[in-house]
């Protein structure tokens, strides 16, 4: 494969480069010392033979690292499995973004899980050059399908480096047909906010063409995000209106919010501002069409009458029924739900805040 030269400094080694790198690693005393610890009893000539039998990086992983990881699991845990049910198409390539506990073992176990689930390949790993403190480490990680994230750069150099890394990630996924793993931070966030960092999304979009938001929408696996929400212990949402009798009224475009509120999460917490309090369901329907749909459509840049005219077409009718409204393909009002008293006690908690919040 013809890999652009601009990636030579950061990419994993190519199959053609591996034999020389194997020889350099095996001749390094520091690498020899590490091998004697993690693979005791393995003669260097035998390791050399195994490495040189490998025709590419994936074969190195399967021959050398895969057995080591299984040994770690056997000796130090009760077992390891990867639920890959949300990755429905094994021929697709995925970008995995997560917090990490161990920059080596986390992507290692992910790769192990992918292979055990019969995926055709593992992941290419983003790793900071601040961790590559010895030459043999830098060589080994690039054998192990890692690409280098450059640190300690000036602001301008960092922007250029991030753009190049973004272009490489695009190339790895679309041309090399590889998966990619990126760690956005170490450990769990202290405020329990594990959402993907905006800086990571912006970096990924640097290598794209066209509008950043359109690119992220196109390349985000919404189906997986929705399924993850259904399995949540706590699901945080809001209502479009809360009646004085206690009904909750919601209108969705994609239906991800209302479907999770209806079924799935163990607990649902609804936070609503005082501006959403209405006398009855009829007024709730009016409120959505008059006060919620137009500004929300404009915020989401939907191509519909709400955005163009500032008014809902259905609000002009004498009857504010669910079916009335625009016929736009970018219609924001698609699924309507009304929640009354629930059979499952304490599953839904409503918090009414004494100030205006949202639409």
Cα–Cα distance for residue pair 329/181, rounded to 1 Å? 35
Q: From the first residue on, what is the mean pLDDT of each consecutive set of 10 residues in the chain (359 residues)? A: 94 97 96 93 94 97 95 92 88 86 89 95 94 94 95 85 90 94 66 59 66 58 68 89 94 86 91 94 89 85 85 67 72 89 91 89
Q: Encoding tokens for residue 110?
A: 């992910």
C-alpha–C-alpha distance, residues 359 and 292, integer Å:
5
Helix (H) or strand (E) holding 83: none
CA 350 – CA 125 distance, rounded (Å): 43
Measured torsion, CA atoms of residues 60, 63, 65, 67, in degrees rounded to the nearest 10: 170
Both structure tokens of 273: 């501002």
Three-state SS sequence of 330-347: CCCCCEEEEECCCCCCCC
Name every residue whose Cβ is closer than 8 Å to that of residue 59 and which is 6 or more positions away in sequence.
Answer: 53
Q: Specify the pLDDT at position 317.
A: 62
What is the phi/psi pair of residue 149, to 5°?
-95, 115
Q: Are 134 and 30 in contact (CB under 8 A)?
A: yes
Q: Residue 211 has what pLDDT?
A: 59
Alpha helices (H) along the chain: 18-26, 29-38, 44-53, 57-60, 66-76, 105-116, 135-143, 155-174, 198-206, 212-218, 222-230, 256-262, 281-287, 293-299, 305-309
Q: Which long-range contacts (CB under 8 A, 24 or more apart) does 102-110 make?
A: 103/127, 103/131, 103/183, 105/69, 105/72, 106/181, 106/183, 107/181, 108/65, 108/69, 109/69, 109/80, 109/82, 110/82, 110/181
Question: Taking the mean position of all CA atoms in its chain, how far away is CA 43?
Answer: 42
């Amino acid at each position: 494969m013809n890999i652009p030269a601009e990636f030579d400094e950061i990419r994993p080694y190519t199959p053609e480069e591996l034999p020389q790198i194997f020889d350099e690693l095996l001749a390094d005393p520091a690498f020899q010392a590490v091998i004697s610890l993690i693979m005791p009893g393995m003669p260097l000539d035998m390791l050399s033979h195994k490495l040189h039998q490998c025709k590419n990086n994936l074969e190195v992983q399967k021959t050398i690292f895969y057995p080591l990881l299984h040994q770690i699991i056997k000796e130090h845990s009760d077992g390891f499995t990867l639920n890959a049910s949300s990755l429905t198409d094994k021929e697709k390539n995925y970008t995995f973004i997560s917090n990490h506990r161990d920059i080596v073992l986390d992507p290692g176990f992910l790769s192990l899980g992918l292979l055990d689930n019969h995926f055709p390949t593992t992941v290419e790993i983003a790793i900071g050059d601040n961790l590559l403190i010895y030459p043999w480490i830098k060589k080994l990680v690039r054998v192990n399908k890692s690409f280098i994230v450059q640190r300690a750069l000036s602001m301008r150099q960092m922007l250029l480096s991030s753009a190049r890394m973004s272009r490489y990630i695009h190339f790895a996924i679309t041309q090399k047909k590889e998966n990619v793993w990126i760690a956005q931070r170490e450990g769990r966030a202290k405020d329990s906010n594990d959402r993907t960092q905006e800086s990571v999304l912006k970096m990924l979009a640097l290598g794209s063409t066209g509008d950043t938001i359109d690119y992220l929408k196109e390349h985000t696996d919404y189906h997986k995000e929705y399924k993850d929400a259904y399995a949540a212990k706590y699901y945080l949402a809001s209502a479009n209106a809360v009646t004085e009798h206690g009904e909750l009224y919601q209108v969705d475009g994609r239906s991800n919010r209302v479907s999770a509120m209806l079924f799935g999460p163990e607990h649902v917490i609804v936070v609503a501002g005082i501006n959403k309090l209405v006398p009855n369901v009829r007024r709730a329907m009016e409120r959505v069409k008059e006060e919620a749909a137009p500004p929300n459509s404009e915020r989401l840049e939907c191509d519909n009458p709400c955005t163009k005219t500032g008014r809902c077409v259905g609000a002009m009718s004498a009857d504010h029924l669910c079916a009335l409204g625009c016929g736009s393909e970018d219609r924001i009002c698609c699924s309507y739900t009304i929640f009354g008293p629930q059979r499952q006690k304490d599953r839904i908690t409503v918090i009414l805040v004494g100030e205006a919040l949202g639409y």
